[in-house]
């Protein structure tokens, strides 16, 4: 049976990038606004193929999860901005994907979805400082998903010294989903990047010196027939015998809490990943009842390495 091809990203971003990089066995990425280390994650498919990189996630819980699930990555728990220092991070309850550095965006999330945010003071680093400290000579791709702060991230880079081959940036405004790239796209174009693809959420840009990658991105298929989205797998318990399923679901909350704490203390990555999937599954059910813009796919209970058989 041929290997199943899995897309772990929200809009097949990983599949677009895999098309561009082909069978490249190793590489380096910078994932700013990484989110969950597997679920709706752009760089996880590459991690499974042997790549590694820098993952930046200010959400403390998700950053800890990433530390265990993806130990080969460099984990940075901070905000990325134009200048170093500190800033307020608005951690939105339940809907972590709407957490932001922009107070107005946090208020919009509360107004539209009834979810309050918690203000946290976080350190701010620049893209340049990340590259100077951690990046090798070649950066294959940079992904930016920072809920409205894309321009600040780009302004903090040195685009002559550190030039990712491909830059992927979320291009629609949080909550409203209105086009938002006009505020930051000129920075990339002036730095020698050329637009290659819009996937309905993100825009892809390619460095002029790597124009062949742009041609591959531009040749994206109209659909990804044969690629299974991450969320089409049922929860593991759905395949269990009825008795086992009932016993598992009958455990009281305290026992489950103690089990998760024990797993956390022993740094069991599998247990942490399971906890993350459960938490995100609860988020999805809540989000789906509020607005289709927040509806996301549900994660599987296994993480197959993606193949390129569909290319």
Residue-wise pLDDT tens digits, 131-172: 999 999 999 999 999 988 999 999 999 999 999 999 999 999
Q: Is 307 exposed, middle or buried (0-12, 13-18, 19+ CB in 10 A)?
A: middle
Q: Give the pLDDT score at 54.
A: 98
Average pLDDT (77-93) is: 91
For 167, the domain range is: 1-311
Average pLDDT (215-238) is: 79
CA distances (Å), origin 303, targets 7, 233, 256, 266, 274: 10, 10, 24, 22, 12
Q: Say if strands 117-125 and 52-56 run parallel, antiparallel, or are unpaired.
A: unpaired
Q: What is the pTM for the complete model shown?
A: 0.76
Q: Cα separation of 211 and 218, whole Å?
A: 11
Q: What is the mean pLDDT of the chain?
A: 80
Residue 240 banded pLDDT, cuts 50, 70, 90: low
Q: What is the pLDDT of residues 174-191, one digit of tens each?
A: 778 899 999 999 999 999
Which region among 3-7, 88-92, 106-110 has the lowest average model confidence (pLDDT)?
A: 106-110
Statement: residue 278 has pLDDT above 90: no
The structure tokens listed for 130 are: 């990340």
Q: Give the residue from 95, 153, 148, 90 showing the smallest Cα distance to 122.
A: 90
Q: Give the pLDDT score at 236.
A: 55
Which range, 91-105, 228-242, 252-266, has the best average confidence (pLDDT)? 91-105
Q: Give the pLDDT score at 168.
A: 98
Q: Which tops the pLDDT comparison, 292 or 159? A: 159
Q: Cα separation of 304 and 169, whole Å?
A: 26
Query: Under 8 Å CB-to-CB from 230, ≥6 apart: which residues?
Result: 6, 7, 8, 9, 38, 39, 40, 297, 298, 299, 300
Give the total number of structural domains in the chain: 1
User: Residues of the chain with pLDDT > 70: what percent?
Assistant: 71
Residue 114 banded pLDDT, cuts 50, 70, 90: confident
Q: Cα separation of 101 and 90, whole Å?
A: 6
């Amino acid at each position: 049976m041929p290997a199943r091809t899995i897309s772990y990203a929200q809009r097949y971003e990983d599949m677009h990038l895999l098309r561009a990089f082909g069978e490249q066995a190793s590489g380096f990425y910078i994932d700013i606004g990484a989110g969950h280390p597997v679920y709706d994650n752009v760089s996880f498919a590459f991690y499974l193929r042997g790549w590694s990189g820098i993952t930046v996630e200010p959400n403390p819980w998700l950053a800890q999860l990433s530390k265990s699930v993806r130990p080969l990555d460099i984990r940075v728990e901070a905000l990325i901005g134009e200048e170093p220092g500190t800033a307020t991070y608005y951690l939105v309850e339940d809907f972590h994907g709407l957490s932001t550095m922009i107070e107005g965006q946090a208020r919009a999330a509360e107004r539209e979805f009834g979810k309050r945010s918690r203000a946290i003071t976080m350190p701010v680093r620049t893209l340049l400082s990340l590259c100077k400290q951690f990046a090798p000579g070649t950066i294959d791709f940079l992904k930016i998903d920072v809920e409205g702060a894309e321009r600040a991230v780009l302004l903090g880079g040195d685009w002559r010294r550190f030039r990712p081959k491909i830059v992927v940036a979320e291009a629609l405004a949080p909550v409203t989903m209105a086009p938002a790239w006009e505020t930051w796209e000129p920075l990339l174009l002036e730095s020698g990047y050329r637009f290659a693809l819009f996937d309905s959420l993100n825009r892809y840009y390619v460095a002029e010196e790597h124009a062949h990658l742009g041609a591959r991105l531009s040749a994206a298929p109209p659909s990804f027939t044969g690629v299974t989205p991450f969320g089409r797998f049922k929860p593991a318990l759905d395949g269990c015998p009825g008795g086992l399923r009932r016993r598992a679901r009958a455990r009281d909350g305290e026992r489950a809490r103690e089990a998760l704490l024990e797993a956390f203390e022993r740094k069991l990555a599998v247990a942490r990943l399971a906890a993350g999937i459960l938490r995100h599954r609860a988020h999805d059910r809540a989000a789906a009842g509020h607005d289709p813009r927040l509806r996301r796919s549900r994660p599987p209970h296994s993480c197959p390495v993606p193949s390129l058989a569909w290319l």
